Amino acid sequence: MRADTSDVAFRLLLALGELWDGLGRAGVEPSAKGLHMSQEYLGGYTRFSAGPGSHARLVVEWNGTTRHLRVLRCEPWTNAEATISTTVAHVRSVARTVGLAEMVDRALVAACAEPNQPCRRTVLSTAMSATQTVTTVRRA
């Protein structure tokens, strides 16, 4: 999976992130299939941290209004697409039983159907040691 809005799995991950807290409040446990996520609202940006466990393999900040994606961390994550797919299937199944299917499906379908609109992407390459500086790579 690439941390890029042209990647459908990544767009599904963002959609799940937007639904995550609400699903938990509605009694749907989205992390039951191995995907763990958290989100923080940062004044215009939303930071999504995701991974197969407590250590986030992917950390991004997304501003939907300006279509700016900042990739803060993108570590190798074996079976990321499978984990996201299994989580989507689980969330959809449980959402049907608790009466949230329409809302969940609308968000997931929108993520899949979204045309590949241009976005500005910033990738931060953080150093392995604390003595190195952070470099920024900008892509249009």
Instruction: Please report the pLDDT score of residue 129 as a whole number.
Output: 27
**Beta-strand pair 68-74/36-41:** unpaired
Note whether 28 and 95 are within 8 A (CB): yes
Q: Is the pLDDT of residue 116 over 60?
A: yes
Mean pLDDT score of the chain: 84
Q: What is the pLDDT confidence band of residue 135, given thresholds at 50, 70 and 90?
A: very low
Give residue 109's pLDDT: 93
Is residue 140 predicted with pLDDT exceeding 50? no
Q: Which of 116, 114, 110 is nearest to 19 (CA)?
A: 110
pLDDT of amino acid 31: 93
Domain boundaries, the chain: 8-139
Q: Judge whether 80 and 94 are in contact, CB under 8 Å.
A: no
pLDDT bracket for residue 4 (50, 70, 90): confident
Specify the pTM.
0.81
What angle is formed at CA 28 by the lines to CA 56 and CA 47, rounded to 5 degrees?
A: 30
Q: What is the chain's length? A: 140
Average pLDDT for residues 92-108, to the nearest whole number? 94
